[in-house]
Amino acid sequence: MESNATAFLIKIKLRSSLGRPSRSDFVQSELVEIINHRRDDVLMILIRGIKGESYARRIEKGIVDCRDVLSALLQPPVTGYEYSDYYEKNLVKALTYFTNEDVKSLHNPRFLHSILIDYYIPHIYLTYFHILNERSLEWLDKFDDDYQFITLNVKIDKITKTAIGNEFFGAKMSYVDSIRELSQDGTNGFYAACMCSIENLFTDKKDMLMSLQIYNTLAFALLCREQNEKFTDIENEFRIIAYDCPRIQNGMMKQIPREVKILGKTGIEYKGELNAGIEPVLKSNLCALSNPNKLLSDILIEEQGMVTLDSRFKSINICDISDDYKYLGGKMNCAKYIKKMLKCKPKDIYVNRTILKEHKMSDISEVAFMPSYQKVEY
């Protein structure tokens, strides 16, 4: 059987030593190879509520839209769904790790500037579904009556417990009291899923190391929900993380531009384009005679970082992860569907998409091993 993506999980025991380990430091080691195959896996029924029938009906063409993470961080959305305003504080913590900024607020002007011109952060998107279970009717009651609902039977990889698409993957959320309860080691299945979702974008596989480390580290925070009185595992959420992954061209990293509209606390609106690694010049909507153009860094200082960002959406083709998807309609139709599926739930279908292979380190030479994630102190 021919594979089209490969990921590695490395289990290593080191001698006690300082600095970067040499090959002689590896005293017990095992390399586990995960090979991705285009096959079906375990079936899982997912449901999502969406405001607006026209948006919900896009599922009929196999399209689901994911919202950018950054705009939601700057202004957590308040919708007709009770759990929509969860603030991803652990994601902000992970972002400070990558930017080397010792700050507690995303609205710090220097911190926010570094994020807005980043090659990755403005180009990460997500959407969420509810996994059908015995409490699904209780979950449904958390929506306003004007919501529309869609469903899909998603194919889950048996080994990694994820759904893998092109530049996106999905996994079940972990519900814990503290993110520190979860292990950041290399055994998380979504680490391998992320690699499978972007591997075909890189001719030289070494070029995807930075992307893997960033996506996997941020995904660890995004796939964790710290519970409290309001946010509990009744959500039973399956989250899909999508991205516009930077490409390497002639040895240089390239990212697509992002159109942006920034609104400051002063009420001034700025429009322009974010280009990764470049200081953008945005145009104000209030200037009649004076120069309307202003540097992003100056805008953030004047607004003291208190800005919001217009939302951007990335459409994903869920045909990569499902053969069975449909528009359900309003809450009443969704309730009928839930009752029907709970009564006659389809059997789980197992056809392996990935397989495991084990290799002895002593049999491998001229190979450099690098982690596919960074450990963050939460």
Q: What pLDDT, in 10s, does the model give residues 63-119?
A: 999 999 999 999 988 787 878 878 898 999 999 887 777 777 899 999 999 999 999
Q: What is the pLDDT of residue 168?
A: 96
User: Is the pLDDT reported for residue 5 higher than 50?
Assistant: no
φ, ψ (nearest 5 deg) of residue 48: -140, 140
User: Is the pLDDT reported for residue 4 higher than 50?
Assistant: no
Structural domain boundaries enclosing 184: 42-257+311-359
Asked if residue 19 belongs to a domain, the reply is no
Q: Say if CB 282 and CB 272 are below 8 A apart.
A: yes
Asked if residue 65 belongs to a domain, the reply is yes
Q: Work out how many domains the chain is built from and give that number.
A: 1
Distance between CA atoms of residues 262 and 272, nearest Å: 9
Distance between CA atoms of residues 211 and 227, nearest Å: 29
Burial group, residue 338, by CB count within 10 angstroms (0-12, 13-18, 19+)? buried
For 299, the 3-state DSSP assignment is helix
| Bigger pLDDT: 155 vs 360 | 155
User: Is the pLDDT reported for residue 16 higher than 50?
Assistant: no
pLDDT band, very low/low/confident/very high, at 36 (cuts 50, 70, 90): low
Q: What is the pLDDT of residue 43?
A: 62
Asked if residue 365 belongs to a domain, the reply is no
* Residues 246-284: tens digit of each pLDDT: 999 888 999 999 999 999 998 999 999 999 999 999 999
What pTM was estimated for this model as a whole?
0.86
User: Is the pLDDT reported for residue 28 higher than 70?
Assistant: no
Q: Which position has the token pair 């039973």? A: 236
Asked if residue 317 belongs to a domain, the reply is yes
pLDDT band, very low/low/confident/very high, at 23 (cuts 50, 70, 90): very low
Of 126, 130, 35, nearest in space to 83 by CA: 130
Burial group, residue 17, by CB count within 10 angstroms (0-12, 13-18, 19+)? exposed
User: Is the pLDDT reported for residue 307 higher than 90?
Assistant: yes
Give percent above pLDDT 70 in the chain. 84
Asked if residue 216 belongs to a domain, the reply is yes
| Mean of the per-residue pLDDT values of the chain | 85
| Bigger pLDDT: 60 vs 192 | 60
Asked if residue 180 belongs to a domain, the reply is yes
Residue 81 DSSP class: B
Q: What is the pLDDT of residue 118?
A: 95
Asked if residue 26 belongs to a domain, the reply is no
Burial group, residue 335, by CB count within 10 angstroms (0-12, 13-18, 19+)? middle
Parallel, antiparallel or unpaired: strands 247-249 and 237-243: unpaired
Instruction: Name 185's Cβ contacts closer than 8 Å, sequence gap at least 6.
Output: none
φ, ψ (nearest 5 deg) of residue 16: -70, 115
Asked if residue 230 belongs to a domain, the reply is yes
Q: What is the pLDDT of residue 9?
A: 46
Q: Which residues pair with 127 in a beta bridge?
A: 240
